[in-house]
Structure 1
Amino acid sequence: MKQKYVLTAVAVVAVGAVALGTAPMWEGTNSVKQEETRTSIIEDPVNTETEVTGTPTPLPTTAPVTGISHTDSYEDLYAQVKEWQNNSSYSNVQPRIMTVEESADAAGTDSAASNSSMAATMPEEPIDQEYGFDPSSEGKDYSTTTTQEELIDEADIVKTDGSCIYAMDSKGTLRIADAASMKLLCEINGENSSDYKEMYVDGNCLQLICQQEDYITYKGSIDLPSANAGGEKNTDGVRTSYSMPVTTVTVETYDISDREKPKKTGVYHQDGSYLSSRRTDGRMYLFTSYTPEVGDSADQLQYYVPRCGEEYIAYDHIYLPTPEKDFSYNGRIYLVAGAVAQENPDQATDVMAVVSSANIFYVSENNIYSATEIWNDRETRTEIVRIGYRDGKFTDGAAGSVAGELHNNFSMNEADDCLRIVTTVEGWDKDYSNFSRSNGLYVLNEKLKTIGKIENLAEGEQIKAARFMGDTGYFVTYRNTDPLFAADLSDPKNPRIMSELNITGFSEYLHFYGENQLLGIGWETDPDTGNVSGMKCSMFDISDPSDVRETDRFILKNVSFCDALYNYHAILAAPKKSLFGFAYGIYGDNTDVYDSSENYYYALLSYHDQNGFEPQMYLNINDSELFAGSMSYQDYCRVRGVYIGDMFYLVTEKGIVSYNIQKDYEQTGTLKWEA
């Protein structure tokens, strides 16, 4: 099967200049300030003064995280960053040196600056519980974003609160529509709206996450290399402006008590590229990736210390996990985390950075886990960092590693202060002549030390999906058939496999359908050839984990790709409503192998114990009045299905279509906009 991924190029429009004041560095705080000017159009970096409006609010003082080592000074951190660069064949991007003469033409380079960043957005991957997240949903009947943990919300591009639908398009416009009347209430276009990423809606609070690329400039005199042969330097000095791109993620918070007139209540900035976020108890935890550079000295914090709000993170809040055996500082990248409270959205209640190139996140009620996959001495390993959190503060931490690599965030789960992980282990022998693959299950304590494990499972296969419930873990491996394993984790030191169910095909996403059933969505394959014959939905009876059975299956034939399998937010999963749905694509009309055209559909299905799987509706999205045959792959990836009461809504890049569930999904309304 051909799997399709998309790299989205985002043109980012930089914003106006902001100047920071100076302040001394001191111990025991989250941040320090340093003089600099941040601007998108550099008219005269030497002589122009940028007006500062308002006084930046300093970050609250918090104690460093315990249990994990931090740097002792900025000088030590700078030396470490410099060592990384010197020991690496990878050359970091150096700051561009702009002369005064060049800067005179910079006012015309806005479009160039806007297009200087390419943002790659890959599916983060699959989440939990019957309705996803909504702690206030009791007594209400509407769908919510599919999430990994019941009480931890996750951001997405479409949300509903049971009355309104919130839709974010790829061009940076957030629209609020009244679901009952299908009336557009308002549009929000922020300063950096061309790069809105995701959002949260919680009661009367709306939070928008956007990413921007700015240019940071520094004033001063330096010696420039001469144009003469031999590279001799000028000795008289040239007044210059250093200009360096800086990526920043912004959280815009709005009071939406009046849905027609949202009021912005705060803006928070955090250096780095957007990775992920979570939200719980009125607080957002924002994760960004920051790449340090090497300047001329440790005093130049702007090169190697990330900024949160208006200030740099203090050195004792930048952590270097103890490099024990098999633990490396892979990639020399910081994972930056900031906690932002709803009631004070202009600043973080706590900030920190960890030297980690993490790309997979799992957040439980008490801990944040970040995972980095590395190739280390002939084999794959996963490095894990745990950071505890409580009431908007980061508390304690630990670091460890396990053999193999994770499939996605569902490969991790916490219970009773233990982290349970399933990985696929790949590697070569000492002579690099034989390659092997197997799978392992590991249980780690709160210090991320392995206390229990099962290794060499399903040799030659790889993990395709995983899900945990209580003391039981379920995971799927695949080569030509689909073994679904059920593991007993009641004794963390002695995990054991209770059952192994072999069926054709494999599931790529697992979702609990109540306490005794597990829904699997993936692909049907030929057990002899491995060729894909269609998309498969399976229902498993897990009432007895020692005897897991497939009770029903449904095949969608000729499906070519399904983005929802790699972005679980795109799956509507509502067991209490007996509904689930997703968008999928088909190449051509399946009669001409050379037809490269793509057709996009939305499938809505139900499942009842008596009747099994039943298709409720198939929608050809291409031919809908919203797209009229002009739908792109990017449009398809942004399709979401939601329901409110007895109404189903298909939310797309160009509008919303409503259907009455009780009237055989009769179309009742259309709200179209230009995107």
Structure 2
Amino acid sequence: MMKKMHILLVLCLVVAGAVIVGGCLSADNDKDLNNVGMTSFKSEKELKNYLETGSTSGRSVYGSTNYAKSSGVAPEAAPEPMAMDAMTEDGGGNSGGVDYSKTNVQIANVDEADIVKTDGKIIYYTPGLYYPTNVTLHDDSKYPYYTYDTYQITLVINAMPAETASIISQIKETGGNLYLADDLLITIATGYNESKIIAYDISDPSNPKVMWEQSYEGYYVDSRLIEDKLYFVASEYGFGVFPMMYMGKELAYADCYYPYGPEIIRPAADITYYVTKLDVKTGDVDDTKAFISSYSTTIFVSGDNMYLTNYYYPDTQIMFLDFVESNGSNYLSSDTMKYVKKVMGYDLSTRIKYMAVSEAIGNYTSDLTEDEYTNFYDSFYKDYNAYSSALIIEAEKTTITKINLETFDVVSGVVPGRINGKFAMDEKDGYFRVISTVGDDYRTEESTLRSIVNILNAEMETVGTLDNIATGESIQTTRYIGNTLYLMTYTDGDPFLLIDLSNPESPAVLGEMKLQGTYSYIYPISDTLLVGFGYTGDWRDWRTKLSLYDVSDPANPVELDVFYFNADEYVSVYDYHGFTWNAAKNLMIVSGSDTAYVFEIKDGQIKLMKEDVHKDSYVVRSAYIDNYLYVFSNKEIHIYNMTNWQRVQVIPIEQPVYPDYGTIYPTHDEPIYGTHETPVYG
């Protein structure tokens, strides 16, 4: 019994730090932890070998053929990358003297897809509603049921004059990702069976006409509109078959990129991202590149470049084998170590070696006395923990692949640690600025947690570093404004840091203040004023707050005012498209749960001006045109005169009507409930 317990405890110790993944440990395993990056295939032979074997230099690729195409079964969709909640509003638009809101975006003049777009005259809105179509009753004699498809609608609203605003047409299509480009409305459908981009001629908004369509493979990830070019990113599980085609364009082997690095840090390689540039006037594909990466990839787009991240982390099985091979003689018998060396010399997969070495350790410890085993366990665990913790901190890397949006040339760089969302990245004057976190892992001590600012030049070489920022603390939100990085972290007495980036070679801390509460959104309303949005209190007294900060003296930022929402008011801070700033009227509109909150931020004070409640429906967006505010939910659109805050119009939205299952059950002498058969509802 004691022997079995010894084996079980050792295996638990090892498995606790191990993730089962495939791959081979080559005899000439490269240990240079800085030799990481993205590179294109150098020849057709190299690309074909990668597809056939699923690896280069032992690197693992999951699904080396296009699963959806080969099996006809759609894999689980890749989630859209999560965004940290800080952004730059792309200002208000102005057309013929009419002031109107534009989509809140991260970078000015780099438009992002959203569910509401306006040109100051017409509003285009895709509610989060799905309408049944092709409804079919399957009249089974015992258990009838319905099947149906669904579609979304994009409403075309004649917004002015506001008092008579109305829906003048509808576009029936899976939408929700909208762009306006002069007289074109671009919609991006995101369903796997409806994966297409459609451009509508809206010169007559009451009668939109299809100008062009472009189908795409895979799942929609992200997009940007810059002038007359649409930059589009989609993903597929695994890697496509060769020769590879995307949107009708054949990709050369040199257009396909994969991650490389030493085996002990294994970049995930389970997703292929396709980055495509399209002409919005014609729908023609200008260029496409393919990048093998992972679900955790984050995308940042400046006006000139697109950046894709890829996170590297130690392969815990290789890490364990490396530790045992190098240090095992301190804990194990000579016979056991001979066996370990023998196993490590074989051309076997990492998993098989790991299983064999684990079993050998279990066999060794099964012959130990209770005291001997306790001593072994304590020393082995202590030393391995220290080794793995140090290696994790040293080996955590993120590669950043830069794509020039004009030429589609590609270059990559590397920074230590993990990048927490796209708002941790920025670009200015040809320099890429990024803040990353090292040591945020359960195996490492809290004291090792730290953040690092890195500044990279156009060739993605690091030219400036600021290390040991907010040690022991995690980043809550970041915001780049000009040459200043505003950083809020999470700990007791949460720090608000201002970091000077004006000298790329020597970033430095400008100032710091202590906050109460956590913040996940920072918004600049002027050159010297910021709004912070977040929470205060603990789980028993959790309240949303809105704060106003004066940063005119960077060394001494000051909180001017704070507004606390009621404890029972849920206000989301995670969708930055749900915030609107009207600079001309000093108004900020925040989309809450079923309420839009309108604040006047003026003269150093925050004042609640209006609460617009939508019964039984979430408020999702707001927009303004001249003196009128439009508030959108899935049931209604409310329009207010912002002079007197009187509601001047309500536009109802047609609701979907689904089949009524209660009307189709047949009459039986006895109830069908309790039988072993279950009706099938389509």
Contact kept in structure 2, 1:249 and 1:272, CA below 8 Å: yes
Residue 620 of structure 2 is matched in structure 1 by 639
Change (3 A) 1:95 1:198: closer
The aligned amino acid for 2:291 is: V
- Whether 1:341 and 2:279 are equivalent positions in the alignment is yes
The separation in 1 between residues aligned to 2:264 and 2:585, in whole angstroms, is: 47
Matched, 1:155 2:92: no
CA gap of 1:165–1:352, structure 2 versus 1, over 3 A, is same
Q: Partner residue of 1:317?
A: 255
1:331 counterpart = 2:339 = no
Cα deviation code 1:275-294 (max 9, x no counterpart): 1111111111001112235x
- 1:243 is aligned to none
Cα distance in 2 for residues equivalent to 1:77 and 1:571: 45
Q: Deviations over 1:37-57 (max 9, x none)?
A: xxxxxxxxxxxxxxxxxxxxx
How far is the alpha carbon of 1:378 from its aligned partner?
2.1
Are the structure 2 counterparts of residues 415 and 356 from structure 1 closer, same or farther at C-alpha, using a change threshold of 3 Å?
same
Which residue among 598, 601, 604 is the counterpart of 2:598?
604
CA gap of 1:122–1:88, structure 2 versus 1, over 3 A, is closer
8 Å contact from structure 1 (residues 423, 439) kept in 2? yes
Residue in 1 aligned with 2:328? none
Change (3 A) 1:618 1:449: same
Q: Which amino acid aligns with 1:397?
A: V
In 2: Cα distance, 1:418 partner to 1:411 partner: 14
In 1: Cα distance, 2:481 partner to 2:291 partner: 30
* Aligned match for 1:444, one of 449, 456, 461: 456
Q: Which residue of 2 aligns with 1:494?
A: 506
1:469 maps to 2:477? no
Query: The residue matched to 2:104 in structure 1 has which SS?
Result: coil
Query: Aligned to 1:545, what secondary structure does the other structure show?
Result: coil
Partner residue, 1:542: 551
Q: Does 1:619 align with 2:612?
A: yes
Q: Describe how 1:189-588 pairs up with structure 2 within 5 A.
A: 189-190=172-173, 193=174, 196-214=175-193, 249-293=195-239, 303=241, 307-320=245-258, 323=261, 329-345=267-283, 347-357=284-294, 359-376=297-314, 377-379=391-393, 380-390=396-406, 393-394=407-408, 396-427=409-440, 436-525=448-537, 533-559=542-568, 561-563=570-572, 565-585=573-593
Question: Which range moves more in the overlay, 570-579 or 334-343?
Answer: 570-579
Q: Which residue of 1 aligns with 2:49?
A: 79
**Aligned residue number for residue 674 of structure 1:** 655
How far apart are 1:137 and its partner, in Å?
5.6
Do 1:482 and 1:507's aligned partners in 2 also have CA atoms closer than 8 Å?
A: no
Given the superposition, is the C-alpha separation of residues 574 and 84 from structure 1 closer, same or farther in structure 2, using an over 3 Å criterion? farther
Q: Does 2:158 correspond to 1:178?
A: yes
1:552 is paired with a residue whose SS is strand
- 665 and 453 in structure 1: CA distance in 2 versus 1, 3 angstrom threshold: farther
| Contact 1:359-1:371 at 8 Å conserved across structures | yes
Q: Please report how far the alpha carbon of residue 355 of structure 1 lies from its aligned counterpart in structure 2 after TM superposition.
A: 2.1
Quick one: which amino acid aligns to residue 513 of structure 2?
L
Deviation at 1:325, TM superposition (A): 9.8
Amino acid at match of 2:297: N
SS at match of 1:82: helix
Structure 2: runs of 5+ lacking an equivalent: 1-36, 131-151, 315-390, 657-682
Residues of 1 paired with 2:203 and 2:176: CA distance?
23
C-alpha displacement at 1:647, in angstroms? 1.0
Q: Which moved more, 1:372-381 or 1:272-281?
A: 372-381
In 1, distance between residues paired with 2:217 and 2:627? 43
Q: CA deviation at 1:542?
A: 1.6
TM-score where L is the length of structure 2: 0.69
CA contact (8 A) 2:188 2:196 kept: yes
Asked if structure 1 preserves the Cα contact closer than 8 Å seen for 2:85 and 2:576, the reply is yes
Aligned counterpart, 1:226: none
Q: Number of matched residues?
A: 514
In 2, Cα distance between the equivalents of 1:543 and 1:98?
A: 59
Paired with 2:401 and 2:102, the residues of 1 have a C-alpha distance of: 29
Distance 2:257 2:399 in 1: 15
Write the letter of the residue equivalent to 1:126.
D
- AA aligned opposite 1:285: Y
Does the C-alpha gap of structure 1 residues 557 and 359 become closer, same or farther in structure 2, counting only changes over 3 Å?
farther
Q: Which residue pairs with 1:588 in the alignment?
A: none
What CA distance in whole angstroms lies between the structure 2 residues aligned with 1:387 and 1:98? 30
2-side partners of 1:199 and 1:288: how far apart? 16
Paired with 1:654 and 1:311, the residues of 2 have a C-alpha distance of: 42
State the secondary structure of the residue aligned to 2:584: helix
> 2:59–2:266: 8 Å Cα contact kept in structure 1?
no
The answer for unaligned runs of 5 or more in structure 1 is 1-66, 100-111, 215-247, 294-301, 586-599, 624-628
Q: Secondary structure at the match of 2:555?
A: helix
Deviation at 1:201, TM superposition (A): 1.2
CA separation of 1:647 and 1:433: change in aligned 2, threshold 3 A: closer
Aligned-pair RMSD on alpha carbons? 3.1
Partner-residue secondary structure (3-state), 1:580: strand
* 8 Å Cα contact 1:362-1:370 kept in structure 2: yes
Query: By how many angstroms is 1:657 displaced?
Result: 1.4
Deviation at 1:93, TM superposition (A): 8.6
CA contact (8 A) 2:497 2:513 kept: yes
Q: With structure 1 as the length reference, what TM-score do the two structures score?
A: 0.70
CA distance in 2, matches of 1:447, 1:97: 37
Q: Secondary structure at the match of 1:78?
A: helix
Q: Distance in 2 between matches of 1:474 and 1:96?
A: 43
Higher strand share: 1
Q: With a CA cutoff of 8 Å and minimum separation of 6, indicate the structure with the bigger relative contact order.
A: 2
**CA displacement at 1:315 relative to structure 2:** 1.9
Q: Please, which moves more after superposition, 118-127 or 308-317?
A: 118-127
Q: Which amino acid aligns with 1:330?
A: A
Deviates more, 1:253-262 or 1:468-477: 468-477
- Percent of aligned positions that are identical: 25
Tell whether the 8 Å contact from 2:546 to 2:564 is kept in structure 1 after alignment: yes
Q: Is the CA contact (8 Å cut-off) linking 2:488 and 2:495 kept in structure 1? A: yes
Rounded to whole Å, the distance in 1 between the matches of 2:313 and 2:570 is: 29
Deviations 1:402-452 (A, max 9, x none): 2222232111111121111112222569x8677732222111122222221
Residue 372 of structure 1 deviates from its aligned partner by 2.9
Task: Rate the CA distance shift 1:601–1:97 in 2: closer, same or farther, 3 A.
Answer: closer
State the 1:200 CA deviation: 0.4
TM-aligned CA distance change 1:328 to 1:119, over 3 Å: closer
